[in-house]
Chain A
Amino acid sequence: MINKKNKFGQEEMVGFALIIILVSIILLVFLAFSLNKSKTESTESYEVNSFLQSTLQYTTACQTSSGIRKFESIQDLVFECDIKEKCSNNEDTCKVLNKTLTDILKESWPIGEDRPNKGYELIINTKNELTLNIREGNLTNDCKSSSQSFYKSKSKKEFSINFEVCS
């Protein structure tokens, strides 16, 4: 009689333990999923978007044959770099683009251990190829980003610029 009672008690305890284990596993899966999601996602930022928009309009020191009466903007320089055009002073458009963007990023988003920004990455690419990639510092989990697309009807190529800054 006592043995039977003990057996019942043991069965109930095993059942309870099984329920706890099952719920814990579900909870762990849910937690892992939500934590993983926050790691990979970077928030779309209005500030970064404005930065990209203003940067694309920046007038560089490069004059090309296709724009005799004006100096090229960063956006135009991306197209010129794609067709391997040279500036009027024989400088490579891709080099000018790289140097100008590197300097702009250094001045606009200073990074360092004692600064709010720890790192950034700027990528300019088409669907098939990478035009430019500038990466500085550490890309942490706390990032804000934005991207924009632009195209020139002549070349019929669509470029996209993506910038991510992490704090």
Chain B
Amino acid sequence: MVKNKIAQMKIQQMAFMLIAVMIFFALVGLLILTIGFSGLKEKATNLQEENAMLLVSKLANSPEFSCGQAFESKENCIDLDKTFVLKKNIDKYKNFWGVSGIEIIKIYPENKNLVCTNANYPDCDTLELIPKATGISAENFVSLCRKEYNSETSIVYDKCELGKILVKYEKIQ
């Protein structure tokens, strides 16, 4: 009778011990999972940001915008002269890229927030291709290149400035 009681006590003790160990490992597991998932969220945000950037870069490197063989520059380079001419025919391209807005903004040298028109080009800062659109916006750095005439040396040279291409879209395609 006494032996049975001792055995029952031992079983009870082991059961408590097992529960305690299980709870302990469950807590450890939860902690590890929390750390893991926090990193996952950050990765998802980065991936989303990268996808938006890729959409912008895809646009900047499309034949309608890119520098091509006209300049020494290669990737992420926008031919500003070509793009300015494209602005005049933008109605034909409105649904071509599947975006609701495209703007090209000069960052350096100094930005005076002048919108480009026939009267002030190239001494302007913002080229509104498809202006005043709503939606999610994504932007990326680009090189804005054009042909410039140097009156001192009487030569035409490639001038590249730093800018951003800003795209507005409904959702990432």
Cα(A34)–Cα(B163), bound, Å: 38
A108 touches B157 (CB 8 A): no
Cα(A77)–Cα(B17), bound, Å: 72
A16 touches B17 (CB 8 A): yes
Instruction: From A65-73, A115-123, A150-158, give the one contacting chain B.
Output: A65-73
Fill in one digit per residue for B115-150: 1 if any A CB lies within 8 Å of its CB, else 0: 000000000000000000000000011110100000
Q: Which of B21, B49, B108, B111 contacts A58 (CB 8 A)?
A: B108
B107 touches A73 (CB 8 A): no
Query: Which chain A positions have C-beta within 8 A of B157?
Result: 59, 69-71
A57 touches B35 (CB 8 A): no
Nearest-CB distance from B36 to chain A (Å)? 10
Residue B162 lies at the interface, judged by CB distance under 8 Å to chain A = yes
Nearest-CB distance from B159 to chain A (Å)? 5
Residue B93 lies at the interface, judged by CB distance under 8 Å to chain A = no
B161 touches A58 (CB 8 A): yes
Query: Which chain B positions have C-beta within 8 A of A20?
Result: 24
Query: Which chain A positions have C-beta within 8 A of B24?
Result: 20, 23
Residue B73 lies at the interface, judged by CB distance under 8 Å to chain A = yes
For B78, the closest partner residue in chain A by CB is A54
Fill in one digit per residue for B19-30: 1 if any A CB lies within 8 Å of its CB, else 0: 011001000100
Residue with the greatest number of chain B CB neighbours at <10 A, chosen from A12, A57, A73, A107: A57
Residues on B facing A (Cβ under 8 Å): 13, 17, 20-21, 24, 28, 31, 35, 46, 49-50, 53-54, 57, 72-73, 75-77, 107-108, 110-111, 140-143, 145, 153, 155, 157-163
List 24 contacting pairs A-B, 8 Å CB cutoff, sorted by A: A16-B20, A23-B24, A23-B28, A31-B35, A43-B46, A46-B49, A50-B76, A53-B143, A54-B76, A54-B162, A57-B143, A57-B145, A58-B162, A59-B159, A69-B155, A69-B157, A70-B158, A71-B157, A71-B159, A104-B108, A104-B162, A107-B108, A107-B111, A107-B162
